[in-house]
Amino acid sequence: MFKLFSRSKPATGTIDLSVLKVDMHSHLLPGIDDGSPDIATSLSLIKGMMDLGYTKLVTTPHIMWDMYKNTNEIISQKLQVLREAVKTEGLNVEINAAAEYFLDDYVAGLIKSGTPLLTFGENMVLVEFSMAYPSHSLKDILFDMQMQNYQPVIAHPERYLYLDQNKGFYEELKDIGCLFQLNLLSLGGYYGKSPQELALYLIKKGHYDLIGTDLHGFRHLEGLRNPAIIAPMLKLLESGKIRNSQL
């Protein structure tokens, strides 16, 4: 049912992720966060994603005001530069951009002021929060987003390791209407055993709605070729809940 290996190269076992069609979490815009540093790198990474079978990439630079002071205008300008480079290179891939919003006071201010957030799909907004400790204002910010008709998508929930001791918080986030996005690399143990185990737990619970690569560079690209991701990814796709191909 799902094509995960390229039949044209059986000897190498090349992983083919074309069943997903769309990647909705990456850091490919050059020079504005901890992802691609320049256009040449962006193009090489895009070619690698195309080799894996992706036909549409929604790249999501960080908006994390203490570190990456990106705005809608900066992201739009960089997207146009990247699109021109992709066109010049003759690459047959669709490139869009949204953002990965760190839910801090700055983003809370954007929402309260009515500043448009960058979305993918119809109204989805990719969000993250601290991996070190839970945020007391998290639910309030998510509620304010929803009141403005945004659909929050929690990036890589398996990487918030403190939730291993408070798995009920996952249920709370789902109950208030959040979608969950898996980092594909978590399935291969790229971030360590604990995120891998949490990812498998969330798959078992049926909590994931989207799959992203969170691609930052060549090490991530290589990690996506890890055969260990295949079995749990197949199980997840068989749930019928993954929305990538609808984006």
pLDDT in tens, the chain (247 residues): 444 433 333 333 468 899 999 999 999 999 999 999 999 999 999 999 999 999 999 999 999 999 999 999 999 999 999 999 999 999 999 999 999 999 999 999 999 999 999 999 999 999 999 999 878 899 999 999 999 999 999 999 999 999 999 999 999 999 999 999 999 999 999 999 999 999 999 999 999 999 999 999 999 999 999 999 988 998 899 999 999 999 9
Q: Count Cβ atoms below 10 Å from residue 81 Cβ, excluding itself.
A: 15
Within 13 A of 186's CA, how many CA atoms are on the CB side? Answer: 25
Cα–Cα dist 192/161, whole Å: 11
List, in order of start, the domains of the chain with CATH numbers.
22-246 (3.20.20.140)
